[in-house]
């Protein structure tokens, strides 16, 4: 079992109780400070894995499939949170687009209309243009506008 973020400044009130129960169990427990530490831990485990009587890291997928099926919406929300997007904004973007790849598909090509892309994503997610622009900047779109306009009118033209 890997417990991630046990040293975060914002901790769930029951984290201490959870840790006590986890360490008292018969399951091996590894703790990591954050998402980056977890990634390094898993990378190390995978790079050191060798085939042993037919078992490989690739075989883990078939073994874990009935127990763990990743939810694309949850993965997208977690990825956005890891990039620094506020919780409510990340949840709205994940709900509005279904997955991180669904959101990224809405980004314009270089030289495309960034304001229109921000407006379209904001409308789909029920967010303000400012919230959406901040989220775009967090995922690396440096020229995303941070508009304080209220959004689009029903005809699609910008409100002043």
DSSP 50: -
Per DSSP (E only), the strands in 26-91 are 30-32
| 54 and 82 assigned to the same domain | no
Beta-bridge partner residues of 82: none
Among 24-28, 37-41, 75-79, the range with the most confident prediction by mean pLDDT is: 75-79
Structure tokens at 62: 């078939």
Kindly tell me if the per-residue pLDDT of 156 is higher than 50.
no
On whether residue 144 sits in a domain, the answer given is no
Q: How many structural domains compose the chain?
A: 2
Query: DSSP alpha helices (H): ranges in 83-127?
Result: 87-97, 100-104, 114-125
On whether residue 158 sits in a domain, the answer given is no
* Overall average pLDDT of the 42-60 stretch: 67
Last residue of a domain, one of 43, 64, 85: 64
pLDDT tens digits for range 102-141: 999 998 888 889 999 999 999 999 999 999 999 999 998 8
| 49 and 86 assigned to the same domain | no
C-alpha torsion 38→39→43→44, nearest 10 = -40
Structure tokens at 56: 């490989």
Instruction: Give the domain extent around 19.
Output: 2-64
Q: What is the pLDDT of residue 158?
A: 47
| 59 and 77 assigned to the same domain | no
Last residue of a domain, one of 44, 64, 84: 64
| 87 and 50 assigned to the same domain | no
pLDDT tens digits for range 52-109: 556 666 676 676 776 667 788 988 998 999 999 999 999 999 999 988 899 999 988 8
């Amino acid at each position: 079992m890997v417990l991630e973020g046990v040293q975060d400044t914002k901790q769930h009130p029951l984290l201490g109780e959870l840790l006590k129960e986890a360490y008292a169990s018969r399951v091996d427990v590894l703790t990591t400070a954050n998402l980056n530490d977890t990634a390094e831990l898993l990378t190390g485990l995978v790079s050191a894995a060798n085939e042993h009587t037919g078992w490989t890291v690739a075989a883990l997928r078939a073994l874990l499939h009935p127990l763990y099926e990743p939810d694309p919406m949850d993965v997208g929300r977690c990825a956005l949170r890891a990039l620094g997007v506020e919780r409510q904004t990340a949840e709205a973007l994940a709900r509005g687009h279904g997955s991180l790849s669904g959101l990224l598909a809405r980004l314009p090509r270089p030289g495309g209309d960034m304001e229109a892309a921000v407006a379209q994503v904001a409308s789909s997610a029920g967010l303000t243009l400012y919230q959406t622009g901040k989220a775009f900047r967090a995922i690396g779109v440096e020229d995303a506008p941070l508009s304080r306009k209220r959004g689009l009118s029903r005809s699609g033209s910008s409100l002043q």
